[in-house]
Amino acid sequence: MLDFKYSLFFDNHAMKACPDVGANFDAQKFVAEVKSASTLTIQH
């Protein structure tokens, strides 16, 4: 069994009525934050 400290779960669905959701998403910053949190699993 895995023993991990952090796991991320995110839902990447947005209503069409909100077209600007994620407009300012910075993929490089997201990756840096995930790495700094020592996350071992990411679920979507």
Residue 2 located in a structural domain: no
Torsion of CA 30, 11, 19, 36, to 10 degrees: -10
Q: How far apart, in whole angstroms, are the C-alpha atoms of residue 38 and residue 5?
A: 8
- The string of DSSP letters for 6-20 reads -EEE------TT-TT
- What tens digit of pLDDT does each residue of 1-44 get? 666 666 777 777 788 898 888 889 999 998 888 888 776 677 65
* Residue 1 in domain: no
Q: What is the pLDDT of residue 13?
A: 78
Instruction: For residue 12, tell me if it sits in a domain.
Output: yes
* CA 39/CA 44 separation, integer angstroms: 14
Domain count, the chain: 1
Is 40 in a helix, a strand, or coil? coil
DSSP state letter for 44: -
Q: What is the pTM of this model?
A: 0.57
Q: What is the pLDDT of residue 44?
A: 58
The pLDDT score that the predictor gives to residue 35 is 82
* Domain annotation covers residue 33: yes
Q: What per-residue confidence (pLDDT) applies to 26?
A: 93
